[in-house]
Amino acid sequence: MSNMITFPNSIYVISLVGACATTRIAMHYWLSWCLRHDWLDHPGHRKIHDQPIALAGGLAIATSLIIVISGALLLLQLPILSSDTIDSLNHGFGERGIQIAGIVGGIFMMLGIGLWVDDQTLLPR
């Protein structure tokens, strides 16, 4: 039991706050991009909204995911963390690497399908 590395709860809090903050920031940029390029879901007879809605949510979440995971990997390379925290991060990535890859792969597959569906919606009829 003494060999078991516990993951510090502060890492979870930092990850949560970082993900929320980067999603909010990315959403701002993706929203303005969608408005500039008219990548909007316009109201119609089969829609429940009465104003155009930007198709940027999945892009913001994927951007946040890339930034948070890349940030964690970057933190492992910088000498600013304690050795215990670095050991915990290395252990976490080592033990959960396949699960993290599965989550990232699943998110990008869902993003790809969402972009494809949105593109089909945007095509002129």
> Which pLDDT value is given to residue 1?
43
How sure is the predictor about 106, in pLDDT bands with cuts at 50, 70 and 90?
Answer: very high
Concatenating the DSSP letter of every residue in 42-68 gives ---TT-S-SS-EES-HHHHHHHHHHHH
Neighbours of 88 (CB within 10 A): 17
Is the four-CA dihedral 32, 113, 18, 86 of positive or negative sign?
negative
pLDDT category of residue 86 using cuts at 50, 70 and 90: confident
pLDDT of 2: 45
**103: pLDDT strictly greater than 70:** yes
CA angle 40, 34, 109 (to 5 degrees): 85
Q: Which two tokens stand for residue 89?
A: 């991060």
Which of the residue ranges 41-45, 72-76, 98-102, 117-121 would you say has the lowest mean pLDDT? 117-121
- Exposed / middle / buried, residue 55 (Cβ in 10 Å: 0-12, 13-18, 19+): buried
pLDDT tens readout for residues 14-69: 888 888 999 999 999 999 998 898 888 888 888 888 888 888 888 888 899 888 88
Stronger pLDDT, 105 or 4, i.e. the higher one: 105
pTM attached to this predicted model? 0.71
- Please list the residues that pair with 54 across neighbouring strands: 40
Cβ(108)–Cβ(66) below 8 Å: no
Residue 26: what pLDDT?
93
**CA atoms within 13 A of residue 97's CA, in its CB half-sphere:** 7
